Chain A
């Protein structure tokens, strides 16, 4: 149990120790393997700075993910569930990072490109034209991705899908992917909160500006890295820098740190802050949190250290 800064070696040991015998990870140690924690744990292990990477653990994770994939190419939250969902983006992305699973990735991509959110469909548009809501402000022609089939676009699943598409070599993307990507990026920009940043995806309800949240803001920023010059991005980065010092959860802190570092924003070193937070509740033993921390520490390596009193600090 660490009593000082949290280093990536701690994360590595935690993940290796808590990999289930079937090759997957649950959301917590010794719990049933699930797709999302397995995909993130795999991505985190692949970011390990030293070589060789923990190859055996990664191979077992890949095999588990391949077995969990549904015939239609999607992944469900837990193996055996009757419907795929947003974790398809995360699982496919991790398999791209690892390599050697092109067939599964291709099937995941095809499922994802065919998965449209429910808003904006012909029936939905007809209903809206007869019974306009007026409660929520959004351009529903801009469609991203949903959490589960038959529901609406939201910020985080849209960001995950865009991150997956961004990781693919352009020659692997079918023609329809470009249009889908443009719509989804447009949807994210449309859902920016008036003061910058993102919440889950309702920037204005009853005319009242939504309050941005750290997680969705960090994911959206990571997904929109190719648009760093846009005003919405700059405003959102400023919001995230301002919010940084008030973050009390390790998962949010890791996401905010990774996102700011990805844009070259100066942030105070993550490891000491994490050490303080670890003493609270040992991160609740949350595998996602540990994986996101490992990825944030990796991102930090390529970001310049801040001078005293400069950048986002805690």
Chain B
């Protein structure tokens, strides 16, 4: 079976990207309505499409600090169905934990989606297809990707707003590491680390670029993220049609400078818009929701305004 490969920068040629910041202080209200209202502003071409939601599920965490909150995932699924999507599946391939069912049960995903056997795909154990990478930032040249991802019409990256102890921040671009199948590369997908995290992020996203991103920043993580940091309440969801612009906006909300995060700076030259002038901000402004995140000493240089 052959798969059409996405073009390298399908939406980057647009004059500007669109990013919406919407406030939501907690998870236990109607996130579906909130997300639906925000998505309508984008007039997304999802009617009749197979939509794939890619959250960030890392490991069992009943405290809710590490993983994309299931309420956000459930709300997004309902919203895309209301927009006319033919189907909406949730798919993830955790990077450290093989027991994916254990993760989704611990965090309560079934409470928001219903029975998961038809709605959730473990990307670590999906059938795979070799795909030539569209950029050569790393030495990888080719990766296996899950069939479910390659057959999706519309991919939505849904990370949590977190700091990251190797690359500064982990958002919608880094979240795409989760589409690399553990059955071929292991747990962790160490081949990506040895090829260079920054380079791998660029190669993966240039080849399977998310069409949209929704970031769970209601409660994020600061400090020693992405697993051992502390909860940080920001009270926002960040949505947009350009993952680079969404990540840049999130980083600004966190009080960091996107130009100082290596993979984001490079993605800004390759995959999407980084500069505020190229990002049309919808709903709240960055300044109105800015919530500085604590970072490890090694990453103080990323803080906006700090001397390099």
Contacts and interface: CB of A to CB of B under 8 A. Distances in A.
A252 B102 contact: yes
Given A28-B125, A252-B99, A281-B117, A77 B184 contact: yes
Contacts of A146: 186, 190
Interface residues of A, number: 48
B285 interface: no
A32 B127 contact: yes
B125 A248 contact: no
Interface string B99-123: 1111101100010000111001010
Contacts of B144: 81
A300 interface: no
Nearest to A119: B194
Contacts of B127: 26, 31-32
Interface in B180-196: 183-188, 190-191, 193-194
Given A32-B127, A248-B106, A151 B190 contact: yes
Interface stretch (A178-186, A187-195, A210-218): A210-218
B296 interface: yes
Nearest to B227: A211
Contacts of A214: 99, 102
B194 A249 contact: no
B186 A148 contact: yes
A157 B122 CA distance: 20
Nearest to A32: B127
A14 interface: no
Interface string A243-273: 0001111111000000000000000000000
A220 B140 CA distance: 30
B200 to A, nearest CB: 12
A36 interface: yes
A147 B186 contact: yes
A249 B128 contact: no
A31 B121 CA distance: 13
Contacts of A156: 98, 186-187
Interface stretch (A42-50, A94-102, A107-115, A283-291): A283-291
B165 A34 contact: no
Given A81-B184, A148-B185, A284-B117, A250 B194 contact: no
A289 B125 CA distance: 12
Contacts of B296: 206
Contacts of B7: none
Contacts of A157: 186
Interface in B48-77: 59-60
A304 interface: no
A154 interface: yes
B109 to A, nearest CB: 10
A281 B186 contact: no
Interface in A41-95: 77-78, 81, 85-86
A9 interface: no
A206 B228 CA distance: 10
Among A27, A85, A151, A251, max chain B CB count under 10 A is at A151
A215 B190 contact: no
Among A28, A150, A152, A284, max chain B CB count under 10 A is at A284
A29 to B, nearest CB: 12
A86 to B, nearest CB: 6
Interface string A273-301: 00000001111111011000000000000
Contacts of A147: 185-187, 190-191
A32 B127 CA distance: 7
B96 interface: yes
Contacts of A282: 117
A27 B183 contact: yes
B101 A286 contact: yes
A206 B186 contact: no
Contacts of A154: 186-188, 190
Given A206-B165, A247-B102, A249-B105, A148 B190 contact: yes
Closest 4 CB pairs between A and B?
A249-B102, A147-B186, A249-B99, A27-B125
Given A148-B191, A281-B105, 11 more contacts: A27-B125, A77-B183, A81-B184, A154-B186, A156-B186, A205-B165, A206-B296, A213-B97, A215-B98, A249-B106, A280-B105
14 contacts: A78-B128, A147-B186, A148-B185, A152-B194, A156-B187, A205-B224, A208-B228, A211-B228, A246-B60, A249-B100, A249-B101, A280-B116, A281-B110, A286-B125
